[in-house]
Amino acid sequence: MTGLGIVSPIGNSVEEAWTALLAGDRGAAEITRFDATAFPVRFACEVKDFDVAAFVDGKAARRMDRCTHLLVGAARQAERDAGLDVASVGERAGTAIGTALGGVASFEQTVLQLAERGPDRVSPFSIVQTLPNLAAGWVSIELGTRGPLLAESTACAASSMAIGDALDAIRLGRAEVMVCGGAEAPVTPVSVAGFAAMRALSTRNDDPASASRPFDRERDGFVIAEAAAVLVLEELEHARARGARIYAELGGYGVSSDANHVSDPDPVGANAARAVHMALADAALEPDEIGYVNAHGTSTPAGDSAETRVLKLVFADRSKPPLVSSTKGATGHTLGAAGAVEAVFTVLALHHGVLPPTINHTAPDSECDLDYLANAARAEQVDAALSNSFGFGGHNSVLAFRRWAGD
């Protein structure tokens, strides 16, 4: 990894977001993107003070959904951070992006226009604003990548899988540079109402900042959030040849399916554990070499206890499991962007030797009994880490990273 970019509820740059994460800042507050007065859930983790004009010209911006605005902002940051003109790599540079809902805000607006004003008033840009794959398409257009153009829409595992796709594209010789990550902008009436109706969201309207409580006994659902994160992944010799700063190495990728339920995780955890083992084997790592896990940890009752069982299955032969945290306590659940947001944080943890905390973890749960780095970052240099992402439908995706030691 040679470049990182992020737009998030706790900061609109890597430096801002990382500093806020370690300080224990929380991004949840009352919804401002629409009038949520009549909704059962009236708070979310929104991106604040984002200026799309700093990244995209006005004409192009009008053809994009907010999801793509955030994404192109993160992609521009990552390109600058890598010190690389991606377009100069030409057909040897590609793009892989994940999103769950794509341009959901634009879709909702189009439905309203159709209902209220008739078909002649529907925007000619409504389809390109809405299609999930156009998030990847716009990044390719804006940055000038002409190699593989890949798009994942696998719920909350989408951007983790996009990063895995990018790794595979480089390994197969289809690219030397991949701009990879994901974005989501789901703070919309239909999204909030829908997730609330299925009782997936926390209902702590009186205390939004404390609502996202991964692995805590009092957790009652996730906090819906918007964000984008992008990483520049390079083939090693390409990065070395240009003297690039290397944050960390992406060593392996594992995927599996629960084949269990449209929204609930496999309660045993065996299938998600298989994805973890696959990522470890792909990276030539043993379980006892993992020092940190950035957990999916959404703050849902079933999900967090199931993930704890997954980790216990994987690390059963260790006397002491690795340290674990869920950064969703700070950011909320960014759905399809979560894997990329958390990959950025995992890379930074390896690079800086500081492990981020699980915010709002105050009441231990007997079913979640690992060391979750509760409420405080910890200075600890680890050599290898995992990032877990699990999505509705049974999508399991795991990324394995190594600390870059210059060799």
pLDDT tens, residue by residue, 230-281: 999 999 999 999 999 999 999 999 999 988 888 778 888 899 999 999 999 9
Residues 223-229, mean pLDDT to the nearest whole number:
98
Q: 299-330 b/e with 16+ CB inside 10 Å = b?
A: bbeebbbbbbbbbebbbeeeeebbbbbbbbbb
208, 210, 211, 213 alpha-carbon torsion, rounded to 10°? 160
369 three-class SS: coil
Q: Does domain 251-403 have CATH number 3.40.47.10?
A: yes
| 67 is a catalytic site residue | no
58 or 219: which leads in pLDDT: 219
How much is the mean pLDDT over the chain? 96
Domain 3-241 matches domain 251-403 at the CATH topology level = yes
Q: Is the CB of residue 341 less than 8 Å from the CB of residue 229?
A: yes
> 240: number of CA atoms within 13 Å, CB side?
7
Q: Which two tokens stand for residue 290?
A: 């993992």
pLDDT at 259: 84
pLDDT at 94: 98
81 three-class SS: helix
Query: Of the ranges 14-28, 35-49, 235-249, 265-279, which one carries the lowest mean pLDDT score?
Result: 265-279
pLDDT at 266: 82
Could you tell me the CA-to-CA distances from 379 to 10, 320, 366 in Å, in that order?
A: 21, 18, 26
Q: pLDDT band for 379, please (50, 70, 90 cuts).
A: very high
What are the residues whose beta carbons fall under 8 Å from the beta carbon of 233, sequence distance 6 or more?
A: 1, 2, 163, 166, 167, 170, 177, 178, 179, 180, 250
Which burial class, exposed, middle or buried, applies to 57 when counting CB atoms under 10 A from its CB (0-12, 13-18, 19+)?
exposed
Pairing of strands 384-391, 3-7: unpaired
pLDDT at 264: 79
Of 69, 238, 333, 351, the catalytic one is 333
Could you tell me the CA-to-CA distances from 380 to 50, 177, 269, 281, 406 in Å, in that order?
A: 33, 30, 28, 24, 19
Fold for the domain defined by 3-241: Peroxisomal Thiolase; Chain A, domain 1 (3.40.47)
**Whether pLDDT at 407 is above 70:** no
**Whether pLDDT at 199 is above 70:** yes
pLDDT at 219: 98
| 368 is a catalytic site residue | no
Q: Which two tokens stand for residue 93?
A: 């540079």
Could you tell me the CA-to-CA distances from 84 to 46, 76, 328 in Å, in that order?
A: 30, 11, 30
| Phi-psi group of 397: left, alpha or beta (phi > 0 → left; psi -120 to 50 → alpha; rest → beta) | beta
Of 45, 67, 69, 156, the catalytic one is 156
What's the CA gap between 403 and 240, in Å, rounded? 16
What's the CA gap between 24 and 20, in Å, rounded? 6
Pairing of strands 177-184, 378-379: unpaired
| 296 is a catalytic site residue | yes
Of 69, 180, 238, 296, the catalytic one is 296
181 or 262: which leads in pLDDT: 181
Residues 210-226, mean pLDDT to the nearest whole number:
98
For the chain, the domains span 3-241, 251-403
Q: How far is C-alpha 327 from the geometric centre of its chain's CA atoms? A: 10
